[in-house]
Structure 1
């Protein structure tokens, strides 16, 4: 195991503690104030989104381009008894957005149903075959996309010829031309929160439809929190407020589906963002990864305890299957080589897990990664990149050789003719070399030693931690008191001399061999559990 570089996340001027202003303004534990400062928070007002997440701070939903027009169209459709279909996506952001908007429209008395394309037979986004099938089976007059559709110009035009109108709500990258319909999107017209997730966009539309009903809206924020965390968008500004309120709401009474998910993930009390990311999101994602995602929406929507139990059991089964398939693919693929872009292909790989495996390889190699499979003669790839890279730019460099490609800066997808693999690889490697020159960063940006991380309540005050506001990461050094103790599927528990709480290393057996005793130095994220206390999750060996 090579030792990656590390440094303190942000250096304070010599002799100064600039975080004391934050501590004084909010009566914070100085260590918590320091963590906020290390994450780029300089002014006390910037913490208000987290420490005082009042509804009055939230952006007016009508300020989001397209929301007013979309809300009026939906109200008219409800009044006229038109059939409405919510058309979603199979990832957690799309599933939660689908459930949220469906629930709101049901509350308002709409004749509404939902549809999610199949990852394997349909793929991402709007598909004309799916639209035609919906026309025959449900004859909707209005379709509302969530978390997809902003580039579906042809599909929207074809739908109009079939007598169906669209409202597009999305947060993915805009194309050169918008579909000829109402479009709700946070990248339009300089909107104040361009980092809204797909479910966040759906929530803003829901706010405009429902009006001033704080209790109901807080219930919807449970879904917003789960989808926003899972989609790894920036947890700063208004996103922090929405997620913070949603996490607090999850600690209260939940419907049978959410209650079953939290129980399966062993989450008690107010969940942290990381608990949702590691416990709830993978379970919901597994449904769409291993088959059709509509059961995940049904689980979130059901009010029937027996149905929730049946669906939750199905979700657990699919998550176990996903883990087994993921483990097998990880073992089968060759280790990353020295190229600036790590691209590997296995023609028989399960399409549902290539994104997870790409993420693991990216974190291990600290470089952009693509894992590809072949379906119906076309290579389908999931791409992941570390901070500092831009997959959109890399895809543009390879565009002449691609069948399709798009997504976000750090997570994207592409497809191409396998015969063009060498051309795609060269284009991505060349682009990654250029980006790598400006993306150089230490593998571990730490906050200090274990004693620099505040206690549970003081740390929880800064939630949510995640993209753009990373979890507390400590540099921990000490002697192993015993050989690693294995548990689960290749995980390790370790004890270090002088460390309060044990170390947990997920998938540690896949990453290398540790000595049975002697010194160990790691970067570890803190985890606080209401019953089991503090533990540390190994992120890297230093």
Structure 2
């Protein structure tokens, strides 16, 4: 890892923040690094509220979307809520269908089959709507590039409203309304909503027609917070407020399906990290291993006993998913080694037998090993399908755009995308992708960067600092958990490797005779030599709490150590 210490704000700014907030240097500096430079900004940061949410009607086409849905409700039209099969898509469908069912009984849901229909709006889904006298489709977390599909639906007399957050192409679909803050012609002040967030803005606008406010819609925020965490969107601005309030719902009054998922979790308060690693993988597993409908059924169920049964089924899917992605990752690593492809600027692998539902996870796992923009391909019908993942700072979407002559279809974000291509184009695409990345990436981005907020002394770490750091949550892109470093550390003599295969490191460090603190370094077992050399070393870490036998003590969660 290359350690990068963030610039410190000017001393005068730090002094002003310290005085305004009655905090120490560390807290004042962390806030300024996050762009929080006034008392009012700090108050908003620490106490997110509904007042920070923007007017939904600032989003282009919102008035058209609301008018069309109100007409459908008034005239008893059949409405279909359509969404992608991942967490953002299924939570979006659960949110929109749950809300609409409070207004009309004529609501159906549709999640495309990952293997039969693929990503996004499908002709099969439109045909289903046509066959069932459905005249309005509300598509969530997909649709921004469905030019031909929307035109096909229009020929059949089926209207579309699109709620998406992916980057549009050169042309916008000819739908009744296209809600996407990333549209060039959309002046909505916050561009980083997830798909479920866009859906929430739509139901907020619909509810305002009924004399309701956003505060009457809090029951939907557990879904929004889950989508924000799972889709790895920046947790700033409106997303921070939605995630903060949604976590409160998850911890106090979650919907039965959510309650069933977290029933076995032995924690008083769940964080965004828990959402990402406990809730999201289970919801995702339905679409990966079976069908996304299972997730929607779970998230819309009102009877807890039934929800518990559905949650148990989804837990089984997740177990299968873990075993499958572990096996395929191992096979991919072997393929890379055998083909001697470790030295390039990209990682691109393919096997027709690999499970399409886990190739995105496998791509992320390969980045953990080689840290290169990565694509994992498998066979999908008569085409090849891939999931792309990128390294911090490199836009894989732009790289794919530069290879578009070899691609059938692609879409996504800066760091994650999906694509399909014809088998005969695979080799040409692979070569072009390597050359594009080689020509455009800054070579330093191929070494994982560890961004460090502050260099501090161990003596500055105490319970009061920990209490304030907890209030910086929820953490995520744009507001990562603070990472600190300390220099001239020494092991007190009890450092050792722990865990299966001695993967992890447990040490007690001191910087002076009075300062001692326990550290745990997951996956850092190979650094034991640095500790045993008895020479001073530096550590990069986050400050954490260790709960053991009813006792709570501070510990450092190591991210890296260096002599």
Query: Is 2:379 the partner of 1:374?
Result: yes
Deviations 1:241-264 (A, max 9, x none): 111121122221222211122234
Tell me: CA distance 1:262–1:339, structure 2 relative to 1, closer, same or farther (3 Å): same
Aligned residues: 529
Q: Distance in 1 between matches of 2:490 and 2:289?
A: 41
SS in 2 for 1:444: strand
- Report the CA distance between 1:522 and its aligned residue: 5.8
Mapped contact 1:370–1:384 kept (Cα < 8 A): yes
Q: Distance in 2 between matches of 1:403 and 1:30?
A: 54
Q: Distance in 1 between matches of 2:78 and 2:499?
A: 54
Query: Is 2:147 the partner of 1:148?
Result: no
Q: Which residue of 2 aligns with 1:200?
A: 197
Higher relative contact order (CA 8 A, sep 6+): 1
- Report the CA distance between 1:378 and its aligned residue: 2.1
Unpaired runs of 5+ in structure 1? Answer: none
Q: Which residue of 1 aligns with 2:499?
A: 486
Q: Which residue of 1 aligns with 2:450?
A: 444
Q: Which residue of 2 aligns with 1:65?
A: 60
Q: Distance in 1 between matches of 2:457 and 2:64?
A: 52
Mapped contact 1:21–1:44 kept (Cα < 8 A): no
Tell me: CA distance 1:331–1:103, structure 2 relative to 1, closer, same or farther (3 Å): same
Q: Distance in 2 between matches of 1:360 and 1:473?
A: 23
Query: Is 2:4 the partner of 1:7?
Result: yes
- Report the CA distance between 1:466 and its aligned residue: 0.6
Mapped contact 2:508–2:519 kept (Cα < 8 A): no
Q: What TM-score comes out, normalization by structure 2 length?
A: 0.86
Tell me: CA distance 1:405–1:478, structure 2 relative to 1, closer, same or farther (3 Å): farther
Q: What TM-score comes out, normalization by structure 1 length?
A: 0.89
Mapped contact 2:540–2:558 kept (Cα < 8 A): yes
Mapped contact 1:50–1:463 kept (Cα < 8 A): no
Q: Which residue of 2 aligns with 1:165?
A: 159
Q: Distance in 1 between matches of 2:322 and 2:545?
A: 25
Q: Distance in 1 between matches of 2:508 and 2:401?
A: 50
Q: Distance in 2 between matches of 1:202 and 1:29?
A: 41
Tell me: CA distance 1:53–1:397, structure 2 relative to 1, closer, same or farther (3 Å): same
Question: What pairs up with 1:422-461 in 2 under 5 angstroms?
Answer: 422-437=427-442, 440=445, 443-447=449-453, 448=455, 451=458, 455-461=465-471
SS in 2 for 1:141: strand
Q: Which residue of 2 aligns with 1:352?
A: 357
Q: Which residue of 1 aligns with 2:345?
A: 340
Query: Is 2:222 the partner of 1:209?
Result: no
Q: Which residue of 2 aligns with 1:518?
A: 532
Mapped contact 2:497–2:525 kept (Cα < 8 A): no
Deviations 1:344-402 (A, max 9, x none): 22222111111112112224333211112122242211111122111121011111111
Unpaired runs of 5+ in structure 2? Answer: 510-515
- Report the CA distance between 1:302 and its aligned residue: 1.0
Tell me: CA distance 1:204–1:5, structure 2 relative to 1, closer, same or farther (3 Å): same
Q: Distance in 2 between matches of 1:475 and 1:304?
A: 49
Equivalent residue in structure 2 for 1:81, among 63, 76, 79: 76
Tell me: CA distance 1:501–1:541, structure 2 relative to 1, closer, same or farther (3 Å): closer
Q: Which residue of 2 aligns with 1:473?
A: 483
Q: Distance in 2 between matches of 1:135 and 1:344?
A: 39
- Report the CA distance between 1:292 and its aligned residue: 0.5
- Report the CA distance between 1:26 and its aligned residue: 4.2
**If you compute each CA radius of gyration, which structure gives the higher value, 1 or 2?**
2
Q: Distance in 2 between matches of 1:84 and 1:22?
A: 52
Tell me: CA distance 1:287–1:465, structure 2 relative to 1, closer, same or farther (3 Å): same
Pairwise CA RMSD: 2.8
Q: Distance in 2 between matches of 1:191 and 1:258?
A: 31
Tell me: CA distance 1:501–1:321, structure 2 relative to 1, closer, same or farther (3 Å): farther
- Report the CA distance between 1:153 and its aligned residue: 1.4
SS in 1 for 2:419: strand
